[in-house]
């Protein structure tokens, strides 16, 4: 395959990733509503640590567990904004 073919595949994956990130954020919005109703803080360090630990064990490719953790730290940081 040529570089253009690979780039088309990456563009398609980007579309899927964005769709999944928005879906995740919509779930977080619902969780945020429940947290507000229950008077809970948006930031739950124990939950975030558990998520990071789990996702770091799921990598089977060229991205290291630490890279996956870094990506998910940013995802969770940005997602907290929609929970507020």
Q: How confident is the model at residue 84, as a pLDDT?
A: 82
Over residues 31-42, the pLDDT tens digits come to 999 999 999 999
pTM (2 decimals)?
0.89
Low-confidence ranges of the chain (pLDDT < 70): none
Q: How many CB atoms lie within 10 A of CB 79?
A: 20
**Cβ contacts of residue 2 below 8 Å, gap of 6+?**
none
Q: How far is CA 11 from the centre of its chain?
A: 18
């Amino acid at each position: 395959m040529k570089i253009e073919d690979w780039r088309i595949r990456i563009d398609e994956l980007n579309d899927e990733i964005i769709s999944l990130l928005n879906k995740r954020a919509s779930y977080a919005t619902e969780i945020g509503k429940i947290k507000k109703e229950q008077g809970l803080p948006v930031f739950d360090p124990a939950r975030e640590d558990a998520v990071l630990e789990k996702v770091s064990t799921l990598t089977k490719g060229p991205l290291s567990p630490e890279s996956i953790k870094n990506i998910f730290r940013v995802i969770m940081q940005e997602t907290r904004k929609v929970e507020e």
